[in-house]
Amino acid sequence: MTMTALLKEVSRLHHAHPPATPEQIDAFEQRMGWRLDADMRAFYLHCDGAELFGQWSPEYGRVIDPAFRFFPLAMIRRARVVMLKDDSDKAGPASWYAACEVRDSNYIIVDVSEQHDGRYPIIDGYREAFPDPYYCRRISGSFGEFLEGALRSNEQWFWLRDEE
């Protein structure tokens, strides 16, 4: 499925935030020292974060219990800071960034140290074993591939199916 079709589905069936501006993306890239790949750029120009599944709560003014909470640009941080509150190399690679929270306080990580076909790989940010590469392994070749899996997931951690 194309990114355009995936993004239409995010807006139609889920809880998309208003889009980021090109200026916000530029500021993000300057602050982080890396550029969004094509999939991530398309996502953030379409919506600056989104919640998949879950229910909108007017009482709380937010989505309650989403299966996937894609962070707005302003909330993307190094995974080691988000997960361990430590920005040193002993706490994990500096190139891993938490871009999405999944239920049970686990995260989806973008590895900006490498690209394949112009896309960053996606890693399972399994909190209990972070940053052990045996548990925090590559689960998708790109943000778009991960987003498609999340949309088709029926609110499940689709990347764990092979291990069940």
What residues does 56 pair with on adjacent strands?
Answer: 63
pLDDT for 140 equals: 96
pLDDT in tens, 77-102: 999 999 999 999 999 999 999 999 99
Predicted pLDDT at 80? 97
Average pLDDT over residues 6-30: 97
Helix and strand element counts for the chain (H, E):
5, 10
- Averaged pLDDT for residues 17-23: 98
Q: What is the pLDDT of residue 105?
A: 83
Statement: residue 163 has pLDDT above 90: no
Domains and CATH numbers, the chain: 3-153 (3.40.1580.10)
Q: How many CB atoms lie within 10 A of CB 113?
A: 12
pLDDT at 161: 67
